[in-house]
Structure 1
């Protein structure tokens, strides 16, 4: 029960960071890193130390791709807000990726227990994918299912991490369902990320 509550807290934190990141969303008129730093400094979430905490990175270049139900969705860090984050809560440490597209019609988050590092292969702790097809249809929501079988929630594999301009490069897979009922169908979700600072 505590792990479910912590997972909900973690996703609230991830979504908060995602919203904070989107508030300093990239703009076509913003050309330099100095301009981006000025925007981030003015952001109230940044002054709370959420974005600029060591180990938290707002990507300026690269992609995050998610494949679910034979469809692939891509976040482009040049236009969308994609962040690689590290969360420390007491003795618990988590890392993950959170993203929201420029149109604010699609968001994704995935997290894992432990430290982010090169050549890490960690168990998925939480994941959520939301998107809206159009104004006439409700939001489609996929969340991590606890009914995937044999406690297999998936893995996040980091090939490279925090090396020069590269934030992180790797792959992941997990199992998401549209609701949290025992007999609900769940889907294997696969993805990749290669995120850079600029």
Structure 2
């Protein structure tokens, strides 16, 4: 159980680093993917190769949608920072999507074990959604729950991947809760993504 929890937190730590990198780069109007790779590679303090490895993409166009509790939230890659990443940690391999909006009031991450590819349907390994409704209220956090009452954490399906200008297109669902207690309510979260380089 603690090993599983560590793995999930490692995934999210990696995803958050990626979101922070891509967010800062988006704010500085870095449009060229090669410039993004150069910036990340120059960071000698980072021992995680995220943006500067093959299979990691900063979207320049496209939409990521998340629906939870009858509300739908949208990240627009033309103005928000949305990245599709592949993480290799020893023998462990993960892929996922991270996003943070331009105002830094909303961020989302979802990940799965394995390699990203077209026409796959794999199990969700981790997910987190943070947002603030207004400045007077604290950040609301939803995280992947272990207490769905079933062996299902959700699925991510990729219809198309890494083809010409297209980064990835697909859908996902998972179950998120506001805390990690056994009796906490959890919510089915559904989403879709259609991300392009430019």
Structure 1 and Structure 2 fold alike (TM over 0.5): yes
Cα separation, partners in 2 of 1:39 and 1:93, compared to 1, 3 Å: closer
- Note the 1:55-134 alignment, pairs <5 A: 55-134=55-134
Q: Give the length in aligned residue pairs.
A: 194
- What is the Cα deviation at residue 68 of structure 1? 0.1
How many Å separate the matches in 2 of 1:128 and 1:113? Answer: 16
The match for 1:172 is: 172
Deviates more, 1:38-47 or 1:86-95: 38-47
How many Å separate the matches in 1 of 2:4 and 2:159? Answer: 28
Runs of 4+ in structure 1 off by over 3 angstroms are 36-40, 42-49
How many Å separate the matches in 1 of 2:40 and 2:164? Answer: 26
How many Å separate the matches in 1 of 2:24 and 2:31? Answer: 16
The match for 1:160 is: 160
**2:184 aligned with 1:187:** no
- What is the Cα deviation at residue 135 of structure 1? 1.1
TM-score by length of 1: 0.92
Unaligned stretches of 5+ residues in structure 1: none
The match for 1:11 is: 12
Deviates more, 1:44-53 or 1:72-81: 44-53
How many Å separate the matches in 2 of 1:43 and 1:9? Answer: 19
Deviates more, 1:15-24 or 1:42-51: 42-51
Unaligned stretches of 5+ residues in structure 2: none
How many Å separate the matches in 2 of 1:45 and 1:157? Answer: 34
3-state secondary structure, aligned to 1:24? helix
3-state secondary structure, aligned to 1:149? coil
Kept in 1, the 8 Å contact 2:50–2:85? The answer is: no
The match for 1:41 is: 38
3-state secondary structure, aligned to 1:103? coil
CA RMSD of aligned residues (A): 1.8
Kept in 2, the 8 Å contact 1:113–1:125? The answer is: yes
